Amino acid sequence: MIDFEKLKQIILNNNSFLLTTHVNPDADAIGSEIAFYQLLKKLNKKIVIYNPSQTPYNLEFLDTEKTIKKFSPEIDSNICNDVDVLIALDFNKLDRIVSMKDAFNSSSKIKICIDHHQDSENFVDELFIGLDYSATAEIIYDFIKKTRIVELDFSLANPIYAAIMTDTGSFRFERTTPALHRIIAELLEKRVDPGEVYDKIYDQSKFSKIKLLGKTLNSLMLTANNQIGYMILTQNDFSEVDGIESDTDGFVNLSLSIENVRLGILFIELKSGFKVSFRSKGNLPVNKLAAEFGGGGHINASGARFHDSKLDEFFPIILNKAQEYINKYQ
Ligand code: 5GP
Ligand code: MN
C-alpha cells in the first residue's frame, strides 16, 4: 500500500516542485507529469517540468500549457536546487534520466519517486511504488481519490486516460481489470473522448514513421524454433527516411503478433550505443532478461540501453541469452 498521506503532506508542506520522467518518454511518462502539474497548479504551487528528452510529437497535445522543457546540462545544471521538491515519475532508476542524472542526484532538495515498475533503486528520499497499478498515472488517480487533495476534472482526467490507455496496450494487458474499467468510466464521465485520444496518439503518424516501420518489418527474422521474432533498425535506416528514435515506439510489439512467437526483440542502433526492447507472452520474464544487461521493466515488456557499446558486438550475445530464456521458461 502506498502511503498517500505522507505524499499529501510532502505536497502541502512545500511550495515549489520540479517534475521529471524517463528518457524517450511514453504517454504514461508525459501524462503523469501533466496530471501532477495540474494537481499542483490547483494548489497554487510553483511547478517546472524538465525532461532529458524532447516530448514526442504525438504526445504534445497533452502538454496543453507548453510547460515541459528539455533539460540542457549546460544551461540548466542548477534547476534541481531551485525548488523544494524533485518528483521522479514513471521510472525508478537514476540512469533512466541520462543527461539529468548528475543534476538530480547532486541536489540537496527533497526527492520523491512515484512509479509502478519493479526493482526500484534507492535514489530518492521517499519511494511511492505501486506494482499493481497499470500506469503511474493510475497511482496519481488513486492518490486524488483517496486523499481528495484536489477535485478530479477534465484537465486531470485526460492525461490520466491517455497514460492508462497506452500502458495497458489499449486495455488488453494483464492489469486491465473490472476495477480499472470502472476508473476509465469515471474518466469518461469527465468528458474524456477516447476516440480523440487514440487518434492523436496512434493515428497522426508522420510519413517518416510509417516508412521506418516498413524498414523495421523488413528486417524481421525468426529463431529458436520460431519462438523469437527479432528486428533491427540501424542509423542508416533512420537517415534514409528521416526518422527519429521516438518514431519506433510500439514497433517491437509487431514481432509478438506472429504465431508461435513468445519473445519479440527490437534492436535499435543509436547515434552513440544502442537500445534493445523486449516483449514476451506468458511467463517469460523479459525484465530478468533485460536485467542481465543492466536494463529492466515488467515481466512482459522491458528494455536496456547500451550507452557506448557496438550493436554488432552485442547482438549475438543478447540473442544467445534470449534463447536460453526460451529454453528455461517453456
Ligand atoms: P521500451 O521497450 O518501450 O522502451 O520499454 C519497455 C519497458 O522497459 C518500460 O516499462 C521501461 O520502463 C523499461 N525499460 C526500457 N529501457 C530500459 C532501460 O534502459 N533500463 C530500465 N531499467 N528499464 C528500461
Ligand atoms: Mn508507465
pLDDT digits (tens, 9 = 90+) for 186-211: 999 999 999 999 999 999 999 999 99
Task: Give strand pairing partners of 50.
Answer: 69
Please list the helix, strand and coil fractions of the chain in percent, rounded to the nearest 5, in that order.
Answer: 45, 20, 35
Residue 286: nearest ligand to its CA? 1
Its domain, for residue 248, covers 207-328
Dist. CA 177–CA 314, nearest whole Å: 38
Mean pLDDT of 2-26: 98
User: Ligand 1 mean position to 292 CA, how many Å?
Assistant: 13
Which residue's CA is the closest to the ligand 1 atom numbered 20? Answer: 295
Q: Is the CB of 288 under 6 A from ligand 1?
A: no
Contact (CB, 8 A) for 325 and 263: yes
Cα–Cα distance measured from residue 32 to residue 29, given in angstroms and rounded to the nearest whole number: 5
Average pLDDT over residues 49-55: 97
Separation CA 105–CA 11 (nearest Å): 20
Same domain, 287 and 145: no
- Same domain for 18 and 152, yes or no, is yes
**Ligand 1: does its nearest atom lie under 6 Å from the Cβ of 277?**
yes
The answer on 183 and 35 residing in a single domain is: yes
Confidence category of residue 301, pLDDT binned at 50, 70, 90: very high
User: Which numbered ligand comes closest to the C-alpha of 123?
Assistant: 1
Q: What is the mean pLDDT of residues 137-153?
A: 98
Same-domain status, 150 and 28 = yes
| 153 in the same domain as 254 | no
pLDDT digits (tens, 9 = 90+) for 267-285: 999 999 999 999 999 999 9
Give residue 75's pLDDT: 97
pLDDT at position 15, please? 98
> What pLDDT is stored for residue 174 in this prediction?
87
Residue 111: CATH number of its domain = 3.90.1640.10
319's grid cell = 540473442
Same-domain status, 126 and 228? no
Mutation pick for ligand 1 pocket among 123, 246, 302, 306 (CB with most ligand atoms within 8 Å): 302
Q: Which three cell numbers stand for residue 266?
A: 527490437
Mean residue pLDDT across the chain: 97
Residue for grid cell 502541502: 12
Same domain? For 182 and 236 the reply is: no
Strands 110-115, 126-129: pairing kind: parallel
* Residue 96 shares a structural domain with residue 142: yes
Residue at grid coordinates 557499446: 309
What domain count does the chain have? 2
Claim to verify: residue 67 and residue 189 sit in the same structural domain: yes
CATH number for the domain including 278? 3.10.310.30
**Does 303 sit in the ligand 1 pocket, CB within 6 Å?**
yes
- Nearest atom within ligand 1 for CA of residue 266: 2
* The predicted structure's pLDDT at residue 139: 98
Q: Whose CA is nearest to atom 14 of ligand 1?
A: 303
Q: Which of 87, 59, 80, 54 is nearest to 69 (CA)?
A: 54
How many Å apart are CA 161 and CA 141, to the nearest integer? 10
Does 79 share its domain with 171? yes
56 CB near ligand 1 (under 6 Å): no
201 lines ligand 1 (CB under 6 A): no
CA dihedral 305, 307, 312, 314 (to 10 degrees): -60
pTM exceeds 0.95, yes or no: no
Residue 88, beta-bridge partner list: 20, 113
Calculate what percentage of the chain has a pLDDT beyond 90.
Answer: 97
Are both 217 and 181 inside the same structural domain? no
Using the 3D structure, point to which of 185, 201, 217 is the last residue of a domain: 201
Give, using CA atoms, the residue closest to atom 10 of ligand 1.
297
